[in-house]
Amino acid sequence: MSRFVLVGGGQVAAVAARTLRRRGYDGEIVVIGEEPHRPYQRPPLSKEYLAAGDESALDLLPEEWTDTQDVEVRVGTRVLKVSAADGAVLLDDGSSLAADAVLLGTGARARRIPGIDGPGVFHLRGREEADALRAALTPGTRVVMVGGGFIGGEVASTAVGRGAEVTVLEAGPVPLAMAIGPRLGAACARLQQAAGVDVRVDTAVTGVRREGERMVVSTTKGDLEADVVVVGVGAVPNVELAVDSGLDVDSGVVVDERCRTSLDRVYAAGDVASHSHPGLGRRVRVEHFDNASRQAAVAARNMLGEEVVYDEPHWFWSDQFGHNLQHVGHAAPTDRMVVRGDLDDDVWTAFFLAGDRVTAAFAVDAGEDIAVARELITSGIAVADEVLADRSADLFEALEELA
Ligand SMILES: Cc1cc2nc3c(=O)[nH]c(=O)nc-3n(C[C@H](O)[C@H](O)[C@H](O)COP(=O)(O)OP(=O)(O)OC[C@H]3O[C@@H](n4cnc5c(N)ncnc54)[C@H](O)[C@@H]3O)c2cc1C
């Protein structure tokens, strides 16, 4: 009987397992993850799970489903290597597993800053870290959030919700500027400030020291006291398995538009995959839930012998301070920005265009505009700035007329 091994036990493995069964694969499916948990999703870890510890939203592959679908889930098991000779998977208990195809969904881990560690310093990637951080977020706790990115914003939001006093340290001149540009980053920072967060820009953390009961965070702009420090400065892809297996690796595991690695019958998807994207004409590695899910489905179908390309525009969301933020596509630095609404308000959308084609969009509490932007990006339909900027116009209707 054929056997597919899905390495990682996260979003990628879960979606791939479901896709394989949905599309009729009747061979063995073995999901292998190094964490002690069955597959769970991470977005709630900085949101509702961090706030209240509700586990019900986490489960990606309920036991009932894996039992009825005959999918084996091995937890607490690390995959050390995929054999280039025969595709067999070597496990950390010394055993190996023959495989007809392997999917690497080994994800990423939280980036660490040397010297910023020890008691009271937290990172956030897994369940245990969320549990530990929640326990520390009590009313009146002084939290220093290192990093003004999306995860930083979400943790700040949840911490405020639990009654903490939050200071966000951003090394650059504007939070989120690298991701969405300085004007939009500043608008998002205003949402944080409106909720009472002290956002300090051009402020890099340089150290943490303990003076008796006190924790002192030193920064390029002086010292501040904290009870809790959370480091949210990005993620590092877990490429060790790929490297040890001899796969091509750059900023992640190199895959083509079909999620194929440099080794036959070995695929990669999700946060770890540096994928060749036809819409962009280059390789890119992204750390979004939607990318992991869609890529995993594409990889699974290709494992089954279909010829499917992953060419979706990248999309992600973030929930913070009572607002829903969404982004789709990729803007080039030279793209023009057209704002629908007013960046000083709570609801707005910024479209990015090259000529008369939308390349990307970012919205606060306007997810419907992101749906339209996705259509415009994938269809390549030309659109005038005035149509996008006109708040009284129904963009869905406009899209229908343009199509
Ligand atoms: C706190 C947090 C909040 C997030 N919020 C959002 C959000 O709001 N919106 C959004 O779009 N995205 C969000 N994301 C990103 C999203 O969760 C990730 O993009 C997604 O989890 C990636 O899935 P993955 O399967 O590639 O990797 P992961 O979910 O990281 O799973 C990979 C698993 O592989 C395991 N592993 C690694 N190496 C091995 C090995 N050799 N053997 C066995 N197992 C191994 C890892 O331990 C891990 O359990 C968030 C992420 C975090 C951490």
Is the domain covering 112-231 a CATH 3.50.50.60 domain?
yes
Mean per-residue pLDDT, 388-396: 91
Q: Which pLDDT does position 284 carry in this prediction?
A: 96
Q: Are strands 101-104 and 266-268 parallel, antiparallel or unpaired?
A: parallel
CA distance 316 to 151: 12
Instruction: Please work out whether the CB of residue 366 comes within 6 Å of at least one atom of ligand 1.
Output: no
Segments of the chain assigned to CATH 3.30.390.30: 322-402
The alpha carbon of 381 and the centre of ligand 1 are apart by a number of angstroms equal to 34
Segments of the chain assigned to CATH 3.50.50.60: 3-109+235-303, 112-231
Choose which residue among 271, 285, 321 to substitute to test ligand 1 binding: the one with the highest number of ligand atoms within 8 A of its C-beta: 271
Tokens of 37: 């948990």
CA distance 234 to 250: 17
Tokens of 337: 């920005």
Tokens of 21: 């069964």
The alpha carbon of 274 and the centre of ligand 1 are apart by a number of angstroms equal to 15
Which residue, by CA, sits nearest to atom 23 of ligand 1?
11
Q: How many CA atoms lie within 13 A of 6 on its CB side?
A: 30
Q: Which pLDDT does position 403 carry in this prediction?
A: 79
Which residue, by CA, sits nearest to atom 34 of ligand 1?
8
Q: Which pLDDT does position 129 carry in this prediction?
A: 98
The pLDDT-based confidence of 393 (bands split at 50, 70, 90) is confident
Instruction: Please work out whether the CB of residue 317 comes within 6 Å of at least one atom of ligand 1.
Output: yes
CA distance 67 to 113: 42
CA distance 324 to 368: 11
- Indicate whether 401 pLDDT > 90: no
CA distance 295 to 256: 11
What pTM was computed for the model? 0.96
The alpha carbon of 118 and the centre of ligand 1 are apart by a number of angstroms equal to 24
- Indicate whether 402 pLDDT > 90: no
CATH of domain 3-109+235-303: 3.50.50.60
Number of H helices, E strands in the chain: 12, 26
Which residue, by CA, sits nearest to atom 33 of ligand 1?
8
CA distance 341 to 25: 48
Which residue, by CA, sits nearest to atom 53 of ligand 1?
125
The pLDDT-based confidence of 400 (bands split at 50, 70, 90) is confident
Burial (Cβ within 10 Å: 0-12, 13-18, ≥19) of residue 397? exposed
Burial (Cβ within 10 Å: 0-12, 13-18, ≥19) of residue 211? exposed
Q: Which pLDDT does position 214 carry in this prediction?
A: 87
Mean per-residue pLDDT, 16-20: 98
CA distance 393 to 387: 7
- Indicate whether 194 pLDDT > 90: yes
Nearest C-alpha neighbor of 255 from the set 219, 303, 207, 220: 303
Neighbours of 158 (CB within 10 A): 27
The 3-state DSSP class for residue 215 equals: strand
Q: Which of 130-134, 178-182, 352-356 has the lowest mean pLDDT?
A: 178-182
Mean per-residue pLDDT, 279-283: 91
User: Which single residue is written with the structure tokens 């259509």?
Assistant: 375
Which residue, by CA, sits nearest to atom 30 of ligand 1?
107
pLDDT in tens, 232-271: 999 999 999 999 999 999 999 999 999 999 999 999 999 9
* 221 Cβ neighbours under 8 A, 6+ residues apart: 200, 202, 203
Beta bridge partner(s), residue 71: 29
Choose which residue among 42, 89, 122 to substitute to test ligand 1 binding: the one with the highest number of ligand atoms within 8 A of its C-beta: 42
| Residue ranges of E strands in 13-159 | 28-32, 71-74, 79-82, 89-91, 96-97, 101-104, 108-110, 121-122, 142-146
- Secondary structure element (H or E) that encloses residue 315, with its range: strand 315-320
Nearest C-alpha neighbor of 3 from the set 56, 52, 71, 60: 71
Percentage of the chain lying above the pLDDT 70 cut: 100
- Indicate whether 101 pLDDT > 90: yes
Instruction: Please work out whether the CB of residue 292 comes within 6 Å of at least one atom of ligand 1.
Output: yes
CA distance 232 to 155: 9
pLDDT in tens, 316-345: 999 999 999 999 999 999 999 999 999 999
Mean per-residue pLDDT, 39-57: 96
Q: What is the mean pLDDT of the chain?
A: 96
CA distance 251 to 310: 19
> What class is the 322-402 domain?
alpha beta
pLDDT in tens, 210-224: 988 889 999 999 999
The pLDDT-based confidence of 57 (bands split at 50, 70, 90) is confident
- DSSP letters, 100-131, are SEEEE---EEE---TT--STTEE--SSHHHHH
Q: Which pLDDT does position 268 carry in this prediction?
A: 98
